[in-house]
Amino acid sequence: MARNKYPEETVNLILEAALKLFIEKGYEHTSIQDIINNLGGLSKGAIYHHFKSKEEIFQSVCEKIGNENTAYFNKLRDDKTMTGYEKLKMMIKAGYANPGSNAIIAMSNKIMNDPKFVMKQVIEIYELIVPCYIEPIINEGISDGSIETAYPKELAEVIITLMNIWVNPAIAKSTPEEMRRKMEFFSVILNGIGIDILDTETILQYVEYSSRYNG
């Protein structure tokens, strides 16, 4: 295959191949040569022209997944057909049912062993996800009457903290039974303040999702 004359297309080919392999084999068991072998003739030189290492490819794959998730979150937040409550429920589901979830699971060991990457994600939770998505959606729910709270910012922070730390299977290793109990208690907490967004179906789906972290 001749080198693509459009650099961005070459980069996308590399990232798609790497993402596929990270999902199938895991980050640790994927080599640069494996990625080359899945590019239909693209040379090693072409890869190193764009990426200095597998680590750089990993960072770009994570950025690609993040951009796709951001596009989805933007579309959901700006949807005019749903109430704030419905959007908040969909945002919870988006945490585990999104196109990048399989890749995140496959790369979880690498992600959790990179303190800088983890800290970047934590900072983004409070500087991006809460103020740009969760809090505006809660405020919309207050305006349309579907959510009742006097503490929209605090509620947004509690929800996102529990979802991204306490019940995050990459951080809090749990058996399916332990995770089910955590999610049920999370539901009790939210129900106690009138936010009924974790139904039985959502809890069971999340337990199934979290169990995939343990193979």
Q: Where are the domains of the chain?
A: 1-52, 59-214
**Intrachain domains 1-52 and 59-214 with the same fold:** no
41 confidence band (pLDDT: 50, 70, 90): confident
CA angle 169, 175, 180 (to 5 degrees): 80
pLDDT at 130 over 50: yes
25 confidence band (pLDDT: 50, 70, 90): confident
Residue type, 142: I
Which DSSP category does 42 fall into? -
1 confidence band (pLDDT: 50, 70, 90): very low
- Predicted confidence at residue 214, as pLDDT, reads 64
- Between residues 215 and 73, the one the model is more confident about: 73
Residue type, 172: A
Query: Chain centroid to CA 15: how far?
Result: 17
Model confidence pLDDT, tens digit, residues 62-83:
888 888 888 999 999 999 999 9
Model confidence pLDDT, tens digit, residues 82-99:
999 999 999 999 878 776
2 confidence band (pLDDT: 50, 70, 90): very low
**135 Cβ contact list (under 8 Å, min separation 6):** 152, 153, 156
Among 6-15, 104-113, 120-129, 136-145, top mean pLDDT goes to: 136-145
State which fold the 1-52 domain adopts.
Arc Repressor Mutant, subunit A (1.10.10)
Assigned token pair, 9: 């297309």
Inter-residue contact 110 to 27 (CB < 8 Å): yes
- Predicted confidence at residue 4, as pLDDT, reads 52
CA angle 101, 106, 112 (to 5 degrees): 95
- Predicted confidence at residue 103, as pLDDT, reads 72
Burial of 103 (0-12, 13-18, 19+ CB in 10 A): buried
Inter-residue contact 106 to 22 (CB < 8 Å): yes
Best CATH choice for the domain 59-214 from the list 1.10.357, 1.10.620, 2.40.160, 3.40.1130: 1.10.357
Mean pLDDT over the full length of the chain? 88
Considering the entire predicted model, what is its pTM? 0.82
**169 Cβ contact list (under 8 Å, min separation 6):** 179, 209, 210, 211, 213, 214
